Structure 1
Amino acid sequence: NTLDAYWDDDAHRYARMNARFGRNGETPRQDMSSIVTGPILECLNANFCNAWKHNAKVDLLTKRKPLAARLKVRPDFGIPVMAQITRTQSQESKQDIKSLYLQVACNATKFIYIENQYFRWEPLAKKIKEAAAKQVAWGRDPGKHGSIYLFVVTNSSDDGMGVGTVSTYKMLDSLGRANLMSGMAKEHQDIQQQHDVMSAVNELAIARMSSGTDAAARQKAAQKKLDDARQGRNGPLTPKDIPGLKIHICTLVAPDSPGDNWMPVYIHSKIMIIDDVFLTHGSANINTRSMEVDSELNICHERMDVTQPLRRRLWNIHTKGIKDGASDSPEDAFMAWKKTIDQNARNQKSGLPPIASLIGFSRTSTLKSQLD
């Protein structure tokens, strides 16, 4: 990519570089690219050529078709894999990427890792919860067999989230993490509590007009309901547990940020990893547009000897190599991430530099946008 913002490396340094020497964008940028060789290039080319023919009325496919037989896998570029192209192409009613995400979420037994620019497509949250609930219903005991662990790295800044704060809130709320967007969560809580108080007031008024042997008991119950509703006002925002599912929602900062100015890392990746085996990456974000409307292209495969090293590398970047930060044990990694998130929260509050790039997702703004 020729854009200055993309010329970053794994260090995600705070300092902006001269364009000849490194990242020259406003902030560091987390992304992933890949080299693709072999017959799958014919599929990539066909997708491009068909779109070009549709829009530019130029047939490139016929001219290029004889080249397909010359497309060979290049083992010197990495381990050969059996890969598949998935697309979102609304002109052809293709929503393969949508189907892919909803299917593989059901296959997770250990962990799901999502690193994406956006995290705001609620059907995926529902499918992940459904998968965890089914496994618990089928006899999986989280205390004995462990939970499914969901690790998410996404943007929380205005620039990073863009125009989808409402759908992001709905996504987090569905996963029991509305508290991470405390501004919007507080507004929602206030509206709900006002409704609860008014409902309790009306119920008490009706109870006071009642007669009969149980009138006093009904009045007492209605009064308690009103008292509870009033006490619930201004209560703390807390996460909600989901049986069989443990969740970290995170974002990134430049790990060498000064204590008084933690710089966000712009997350541009579009990656999902399941159980260190399945991997999909490409252009699709976790949002409705990428799943149903825009033109998107992803590649997926199931090769542990490719997927696991990638996941380890990513987690080591984010946790700065701390003990168990990239562990093959989801439980150990989850605990290491929690320690990192908690320590970074304390450091930020105290005006100290971060210990690693990984921090907890947090957004206090009440700004609402729902164009996506």
Structure 2
Amino acid sequence: MSSSDPNALKTHQAATTPTARSSPSVQASRQWFLSDGRPASDSHPVRKGSIHTYVCGQEAFQAIAADIEAAHKSIELICWGFDPAMALDRSKPRRPESPWTSGETYGALLERKAAQGVQVRLLVWYNDAGSCVQNNLVGYAQPAYDHYPGGVVAETWAERNRGRIGAAYPLAEQRQDYCTLWWRRATKGHIGNLEVRCRDGVKDAVKASLADEADKPSSEGGQLKGWFDEQKLVEAYATHHQKPILIDFDHNEGATAVGYIMGLNSVTDYWDTSQHEFDSPLREPSGATAADLSKAQEAGALVDAVLPTALRLGLPISRRPYRDYAARLTGEVLVDVNLNFVRAWDRARRLPELKGDGGNSISKVSPPVVENLAGMDPQTKVPRSALSGRRAAPAKLMAACNAKGPIVPLQVLRTQPEEPYADGQTRQAFDKSIKRAYFHATGEARNYLYLENQYFFYEEWARHLKAARLSFLNGVQTAPAASSEARMLHLIVVTPQPENVGMVPRTYDTLKSLGEANSMRNQHEKIEKELQSQKTKFLKFIGPSDIAQSAQKIQAPTHKVDGELVQDGKDLALKVIVCKLATANRASPKALGAARDIYIHSKLMLIDDEYLLLGSANMNQRSMAADSEICVATSHQDHARELRRTIWGQLSGQTINGGAGTPQEVADAFKNFSKLAAGNFDLIRAGKAITGHLVKFVDERVASDRVG
């Protein structure tokens, strides 16, 4: 995409509007959805339904548990990762079989519903190497012990220590063993009505999708001791990153069907409250060891700074705070959630059987139920009857919407290199509708653009935003009368420090493109010194590194006194603030520090109280072109406005919420956010308690290579 062409993706529908000579002005509404139904998008039509957005895992997982409990016929889950030992609803008492958490575990819940006759289908991402690194299937695949570097878990802790357990059975090992035994039963077909399938990225499809990108992954340098460069990591290790849930789609003609699209992974790390307490037993114990932290740091990972201190002092501490969102959906929008599941399920394979004796000496579970394999293919263990016929909308699908709030327009969007995209203007071999929606909606922003995302390293998007602003402002200047829409746009970005040092360069590029290079001053100075060194006689024949060359190409804007960005001498009517999140330590600040970073796993965009997009997609090239992703968008103003007020209030300690979202209220909120974030940054350095969670984004690390 050229930075001079803000509509290179051709997502806008052209319209001709007649005007009178005496009054040549016109009022027009903004097109938020792709194709907007004119002509209808073949792949992603705008449908009707209801939406409720949950903030953080406590609310979302509790709602999911209730909907699973109410399931009559089917429970279908697509997961990047699955943790059988996590509890969804932690308001329930602790159980003897799972002393590490409160409430019933996810594995036990699904097993119990399957025993009631509900068909449970679980589709996970699995790669024999990637899953060991990510530990996304807890208890199934991970680098379990020093002498066993990877692959599937061959034996439980109890089996390795048979006869020597006694009273010394570490809680972390009990938890891990619980997961391993669950996976054994599930993959061997010992849980009736529960089937687990897996899928992995298709390299050729991913390469074709990436070939369409303006900025290609780099083949220079390499993380992990030079074994993997960015290009290889993205092309060969694409993941299936979706996390939708669909319940009772065709039960009673869809009258009680419900679904979820979210960023939350089904792993216990992602459970947290919206208060993000510094330490909370409900988040489960950290379980990290000094050796774990050392290995993570060697691999370039950013370690929760509180953990090393807690380990050194022998202080127990919970897993770190996490922030994310989930959307509960009902109505005909579930047709597209269903199609996404059916297509993926029908081409997936059975998750390989986890070997072992499968003894029940560890977790107290009901006796295993042997699955009836009469309808299974003996070679693949995949049912002969696939789900491909389940495509039509059940007759009563809208019935579940009646008591769930207003009926609103909704659009399901995806990144799926293995499946085509089609609408009235475009036909492609790969689905990039999430990227198209992000770029399209960004160009429509006039008042504020709020991004909360786990990653923020997609510089192509930053170029697009600037080009869209210039195009819009040029149009305003040529209009016969000034447009009331020609106001300042306030971009608020909330993102964590990159989780791996290899992600620093792309993050720096994106921030530099938005005039925020000083947020990563050390990386900026390293690149500038390298570029200057090429001018010396001694080093002039040594070309700059790929990272420096990439950064050199970026056209960084300058700032006016009031913070407005100026690109190539032209005002952008754009102001930017970049923040991270932290939570105050009000219990023991002297021992563990004044604050603890909140890990932002969110994938949310809000624009002007008129558009909401959330789901599984990050603001990086992986999510826009390589990994499979799914999001949902709506243009319902009341929903977007209330969510914005809730979020801004939470992050500011209820001191700022933007009110009704008028231009003046947004401008005031932006200014106050900037003051709050800068003030909290200084308070943390002074060892004092902060207000709310917003903190000025600063990353002082320096990177010499990249990860994708």
Taking structure 1 as the reference length, the TM-score comes to 0.80
Matched, 1:112 2:439: no
Q: Which runs of structure 2 are paired with 1:54-73 in the superposition (5 Å)?
A: 54-56=347-349, 60-62=386-388, 64-65=390-391, 68-72=394-398, 73=400
Matched, 1:166 2:508: no
Q: Which residue of 1 aligns with 2:520?
A: 181
**Matches of 2:283 and 2:519, distance apart in 1:** 36
Q: Which residue of 1 aligns with 2:673?
A: 337
Is residue 449–residue 608 contact of structure 2 (8 Å, CA) maintained in 1?
yes
Is residue 112–residue 272 contact of structure 1 (8 Å, CA) maintained in 2?
yes
Q: CA deviation at 1:239?
A: 6.8
Q: Which residue of 1 aligns with 2:623?
A: 290
Q: CA deviation at 1:164?
A: 2.0
Which segment drifts farther, 240-249 or 37-46?
240-249
Which fold has the larger relative contact order, with Cα–Cα distance below 8 Å and residues 6 or more apart in sequence? 1
CA separation of 1:278 and 1:66: change in aligned 2, threshold 3 A: closer
Is residue 594–residue 688 contact of structure 2 (8 Å, CA) maintained in 1?
no
**Matches of 1:71 and 1:164, distance apart in 2:** 43
Q: Aligned match of 2:685 in 331, 338, 349?
A: 349
Q: Which residue of 1 aligns with 2:490?
A: 149
**Matches of 1:60 and 1:307, distance apart in 2:** 38
CA separation of 1:31 and 1:41: change in aligned 2, threshold 3 A: same
Is residue 648–residue 657 contact of structure 2 (8 Å, CA) maintained in 1?
no
Q: Aligned match of 2:703 in 347, 350, 367?
A: 367
1:261-305 deviation per Cα after TM superposition (whole angstroms, max 9, x unaligned):
421101111111111101111111111011111111011110101
Which stretches of structure 1, 4 residues or more, deviate above 6 A after TM superposition?
A: none
Q: Which residue of 2 aligns with 1:76?
A: 403
Q: Which residue of 2 aligns with 1:192?
A: 531
Q: Which residue of 1 aligns with 2:471?
A: 134
CA separation of 1:48 and 1:25: change in aligned 2, threshold 3 A: farther
**Matches of 1:6 and 1:128, distance apart in 2:** 31
1:211-254 deviation per Cα after TM superposition (whole angstroms, max 9, x unaligned):
xxxxxxxxxxxxxxxxxxxxxxxxxxx97533311001111001
Q: Aligned match of 2:275 in 11, 22, 31?
A: 11
**Matches of 2:280 and 2:318, distance apart in 1:** 7
Q: Which residue of 2 aligns with 1:273?
A: 606
Matched, 1:49 2:342: yes
Q: Which residue of 1 aligns with 2:414?
A: 87
Which segment drifts farther, 245-254 or 338-347?
338-347
Q: Which amino acid aligns with 1:351?
A: G
Is residue 501–residue 703 contact of structure 2 (8 Å, CA) maintained in 1?
no
Q: CA deviation at 1:79?
A: 2.7
- Unaligned runs of 5+ residues in structure 2 are 1-60, 62-85, 87-266, 286-316, 350-381, 420-429, 541-556, 560-564
Q: Which residue of 2 aligns with 1:235?
A: none
Q: Which amino acid aligns with 1:177?
A: E
CA separation of 1:327 and 1:182: change in aligned 2, threshold 3 A: farther
Q: Which amino acid aligns with 1:10?
A: S
**Matches of 1:239 and 1:325, distance apart in 2:** 27
Is residue 5–residue 25 contact of structure 1 (8 Å, CA) maintained in 2?
no
**Matches of 2:321 and 2:529, distance apart in 1:** 37
Q: Which residue of 1 aligns with 2:651?
A: 318
**Matches of 1:25 and 1:83, distance apart in 2:** 37
CA separation of 1:316 and 1:42: change in aligned 2, threshold 3 A: same
Q: Which amino acid aligns with 2:491?
A: L
**Matches of 2:438 and 2:683, distance apart in 1:** 36
Q: CA deviation at 1:135?
A: 3.0
Q: CA deviation at 1:322?
A: 1.1
Q: Which residue of 2 aligns with 1:222?
A: none
Q: Which amino acid aligns with 1:69?
A: A
CA separation of 1:16 and 1:292: change in aligned 2, threshold 3 A: same
C-alpha RMSD of matched pairs (Å):
2.8
Is residue 315–residue 326 contact of structure 1 (8 Å, CA) maintained in 2?
no
- Unaligned runs of 5+ residues in structure 1 are 203-237
Q: CA deviation at 1:63?
A: 5.6
Matched, 1:32 2:325: yes
Q: Which residue of 1 aligns with 2:642?
A: 309
Q: CA deviation at 1:66?
A: 6.5
CA separation of 1:304 and 1:263: change in aligned 2, threshold 3 A: same
Q: Which residue of 2 aligns with 1:125?
A: 462
Q: CA deviation at 1:25?
A: 5.3
CA separation of 1:87 and 1:19: change in aligned 2, threshold 3 A: closer
CA separation of 1:327 and 1:357: change in aligned 2, threshold 3 A: farther
Taking structure 2 as the reference length, the TM-score comes to 0.44
**Matches of 1:364 and 1:317, distance apart in 2:** 27
Is residue 449–residue 490 contact of structure 2 (8 Å, CA) maintained in 1?
yes
Is residue 345–residue 387 contact of structure 2 (8 Å, CA) maintained in 1?
no
SS at match of 1:252: strand
Q: Which residue of 2 aligns with 1:264?
A: 597
1:62-94 deviation per Cα after TM superposition (whole angstroms, max 9, x unaligned):
464467223224243333211011111101111
Q: CA deviation at 1:163?
A: 4.3
Is residue 177–residue 239 contact of structure 1 (8 Å, CA) maintained in 2?
no
SS at match of 2:394: helix
Q: Which amino acid aligns with 2:706?
A: Q
CA separation of 1:102 and 1:324: change in aligned 2, threshold 3 A: closer
**Matches of 1:87 and 1:25, distance apart in 2:** 34
1:313-335 deviation per Cα after TM superposition (whole angstroms, max 9, x unaligned):
11111111114566622201111
CA separation of 1:269 and 1:323: change in aligned 2, threshold 3 A: closer
Q: Which amino acid aligns with 1:15?
A: D
SS at match of 1:138: helix
Q: Which residue of 1 aligns with 2:577?
A: 248
Identity of aligned residues (%): 28
Q: Which amino acid aligns with 2:678?
A: D
1:86-132 deviation per Cα after TM superposition (whole angstroms, max 9, x unaligned):
11110111111111111111111111110111111111101111122
Residues matched between the structures, number = 329
Is residue 106–residue 131 contact of structure 1 (8 Å, CA) maintained in 2?
yes
